[in-house]
Chains A and B, each alone.
Chain A
Amino acid sequence: DARVTQTPRHKVTEMGQEVTMRCQPILGHNTVFWYRQTMMQGLELLAYFRNRAPLDDSGMPKDRFSAEMPDATLATLKIQPSEPRDSAVYFCASGLARGEQYFGPGTRLTVT
């Protein structure tokens, strides 16, 4: 069955290192979202794309975060340099122009 996949599922890294998280949206979905979830802040929208074009990345710290969609089957979220406060679970979700979002299993990032 069709699912959103994310890699890696877990990542432990030292502060200052680059982190790249990948997402494969459901085939045929034209909208991709990146979220960050922490106990303190809950679920935060970082960025989203429609037809591979960024529509809104206002939730993302621009100095260290970047999000791209090199093609329709791959979305990436990079953090460079990473900091301990970036520790969180990062979710990718995909959907159609309007309607429900389908979430991936998440990448649990720990920055020491």
Chain B
Amino acid sequence: DSGVTQTPKHLITATGQRVTLRCSPRSGDLSVYWYQQSLDQGLQFLIQYYNGEERAKGNILERFSAQQFPDLHSELNLSSLELGDSALYFCASSVVPQGVSTEAFFGQGTRLTVV
């Protein structure tokens, strides 16, 4: 158990809908990262937050947004869903954003299926 909790574990929804994925970081970790992993794309970095502020942005679509709340949990919002958004979405947390000498811990992921 990494200490990072992602909910829900599985989600099935229809095209055009909107969903929210939730991540609770490890106790004491201030930084949260979101990743998308589909079969043919590998682990794609989406966005990173540190203590409530956005710190880095990767290949995140405009239909997607995220935020980190004062209690440090984070939510990833996916809207106008398309079939191609079906993927595993992982959240990771670490103590500090740069994490040069600290490791990041990953949750078990949320499997999103868009039908």
A associates with B: no
Interface residues of A (CB under 8 A from B): none
